[in-house]
């Protein structure tokens, strides 16, 4: 209660004290979103969220600056299933706070070419549009599973050294922070022969996070060159996969009967060598980035009543070959695309993607084509934006214990119409559907068929 009071006091009172000195500037937005699921019983049937975002920038002098972003969120349609929950506001009208960013930046410290930034911050690498294999510090925010551009911020220490057209950035993230995952299955645990064979006995997976130890720190570096018509960057990242994978399978028996199976998930390490570029040629924007990924090999272990199974005992449970979660084979993810505005105000963005965010091994990679078109009307007070994503299967399903299916395809279609009733506000209505062959990666989005209505005001 005291924390909430202090936050409210900071938001309402402190700005009035400091803004008069023009040392602190504020902005933000108010949003209200309504989602209606088209497939009853899956993911969400009816969902409403309201959010107020407050952003602040402080600059007492030229040597130091800072910023923050606070989000206050309310969900009006709660998922209640107990009478006792109706007695508490936190269940009936859930409210949550999020400190998205809170950082300080020391400018020209030690030398005029060096800036140091510390605190909770969004570290953004890469040039592609929403599919960035080199952008690995800030984890995914998949609360809206169809919005791949959302990322969380992390606590980190970032140093930038500027020299002429070059920018060298060094980043240290001492604490691993996981992604916010969607309410759909992203994991290949079902392809494991034991988990798939005894689905009715499978319990909720356990999750193991990296320990908070110095040796588990995440770090990286990026050297960027900014030219007159093109930018190019080379980067290195050492850290963890963005989503967890299967590490163990715990089997519990009683007598001769199988009682339960518990998958255990964890985050293996990876090293990523990145390269990205952006160039503007005849008003055509061309962008691309690629990541050469060196993963940690993960072969699930199997335990029965706490005892590790040997190779001979595995066969008794139908495990006749080594099924991997992550291969030790190096692989390449990349995205390349272009955008252009045609006469008449038609804007088009197209990109080819090799490797989706949940594909974390060489044999699991697929190919994708994403594109959207936007057209403004009535002096840009109204626009329409159709978009699509297509998957072209190329993975090897049998490598991970699944049935080998060749040539799977999938597609996601969406359509949005946005009206700008005034300069700082907009209203969006849209919908999205997905269809995929069995075994395709985008098949997981079929349950997310939806229509939505979004309101937003910026200040």
**Residue 399: its pLDDT value, please?**
60
**Residue 238: its pLDDT value, please?**
98
Q: SS3 string of the chain?
A: CHHHHHHHHHHHCHHHHHHHHCCEEEEEEEEEEEEEECCCCCCCCEEEEEEEEEEEEEEEECCEEEEEEEEEEEECCCCCCCHHHHHCHHHHCCEEEEEEEEEEEECCCCCCCEEEEEEEECCCCCCCCCCCCCCCCCCEECCCCCCCCCECCEEEEEEEEEECCEEEEEEEECCCCCCECCCCCCCCHHHCHHHHHCHHHECCCEEECCCCCHHHCEEEEEEEEECCCEEEEEEEEEEECCCCEEEEEEEEEECCEEEEEEEEEECCEEEEEEEEEEEEECCEEEEEEEEEEEECCECCEEEECCEECCHHHHHHCCCCCCCCCECCCCEEEEEEEEEEEECCCEEEEEEEEECCCCCCCHHHCCEEEEEEEEEEECCCCEEEEEEEEEEECCCCHHHHCCCCCCCCEEEEEEEEEEEEEECCEEEEEEEEEEEECCCCCHHHHHHHCEEEEEEEEEC
* Cβ pair 357, 291 in contact under 8 A: no
Distance between CA atoms of residues 371 and 22, nearest Å? 43
**Residue 408: its pLDDT value, please?**
83
**Residue 278: its pLDDT value, please?**
97
**Residue 456: its pLDDT value, please?**
97
**Residue 319: its pLDDT value, please?**
73
* Cβ pair 411, 442 in contact under 8 A: yes
Distance between CA atoms of residues 50 and 68, nearest Å? 20
* pLDDT by 10s per residue, the chain, length 459: 544 544 554 554 445 544 445 688 999 999 999 999 887 766 667 788 899 999 999 999 989 999 999 999 998 766 677 888 888 888 888 888 998 999 999 998 888 899 999 999 999 999 999 899 999 999 999 888 888 889 999 999 999 999 999 999 999 999 999 999 887 776 644 556 667 777 788 888 899 999 999 999 999 999 999 998 899 999 999 999 999 999 999 989 887 788 898 999 999 999 999 999 999 999 999 999 999 999 999 999 999 999 898 877 777 777 766 778 899 999 999 999 999 999 988 999 999 999 999 999 998 899 999 999 999 999 999 999 999 999 987 666 656 555 666 678 999 999 999 999 999 999 999 999 999 988 788 888 888 899 999 999 999
* Cβ pair 71, 52 in contact under 8 A: yes
């Amino acid at each position: 209660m005291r924390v909430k009071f202090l936050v409210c006091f900071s938001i309402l009172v402190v700005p009035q004290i400091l803004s008069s000195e023009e040392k602190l500037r504020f902005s933000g937005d108010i949003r209200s979103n309504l989602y209606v699921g088209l497939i009853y019983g899956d993911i969400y049937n009816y969902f409403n969220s309201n959010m107020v975002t407050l952003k602040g920038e402080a600059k007492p002098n030229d040597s130091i600056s800072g910023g923050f972003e606070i989000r206050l969120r309310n969900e009006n349609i709660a998922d209640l299933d107990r009478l006792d929950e109706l007695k508490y506001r936190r269940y009936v009208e859930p409210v949550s706070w999020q400190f998205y960013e809170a950082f300080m930046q020391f400018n020209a410290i030690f030398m005029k070419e060096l800036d140091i930034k510390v605190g909770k911050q969004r570290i953004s690498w890469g040039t592609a549009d929403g599919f960035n294999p080199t952008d690995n510090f800030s984890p995914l925010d998949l609360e809206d599973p169809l919005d791949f551009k959302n990322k969380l911020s992390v606590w980190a220490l970032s140093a930038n050294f500027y020299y002429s057209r070059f920018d060298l950035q060094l980043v240290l993230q001492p604490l691993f922070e996981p992604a916010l995952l969607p309410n759909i299955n992203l994991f290949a645990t079902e392809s494991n022969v034991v988990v798939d064979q005894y689905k009715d006995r499978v319990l909720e997976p356990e999750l193991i996070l990296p320990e908070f130890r110095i040796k588990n720190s995440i770090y990286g570096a990026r050297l960027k060159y900014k030219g007159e018509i093109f930018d190019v960057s080379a980067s290195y990242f050492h850290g963890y996969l963005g989503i967890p994978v299967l590490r163990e399978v715990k089997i519990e028996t009683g007598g001769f009967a199988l009682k339960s199976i518990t998958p255990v998930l964890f985050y293996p390490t990876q090293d990523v060598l990145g390269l990205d570029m952006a160039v503007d040629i005849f008003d055509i924007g061309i962008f691309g980035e690629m990541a050469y990924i060196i993963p940690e090999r993960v072969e699930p272990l199997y335990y029965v009543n706490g005892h590790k199974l040997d190779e001979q005992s595995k066969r008794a449970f139908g495990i006749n070959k080594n099924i991997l979660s992550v291969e030790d084979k190096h692989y390449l993810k990349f995205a390349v695309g272009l955008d252009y505005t045609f006469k008449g105000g038609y804007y088009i963005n197209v990109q080819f993607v090799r490797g989706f965010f949940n594909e974390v091994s060489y044999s699991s990679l697929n190919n994708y084509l994403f594109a959207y078109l936007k057209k403004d009307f009535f002096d840009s007070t109204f626009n329409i934006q159709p978009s699509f994503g297509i998957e072209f299967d190329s993975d090897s399903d049998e490598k991970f214990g699944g049935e080998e299916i060749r040539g799977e395809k999938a597609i996601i279609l969406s359509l949005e119409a946005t009206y700008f009733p005034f300069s700082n506000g907009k209203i969006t209505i849209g919908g999205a559907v997905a269809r995929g062959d069995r075994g395709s990666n985008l098949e997981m989005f079929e349950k997310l068929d939806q229509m939505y209505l979004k309101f937003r005001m910026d200040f």
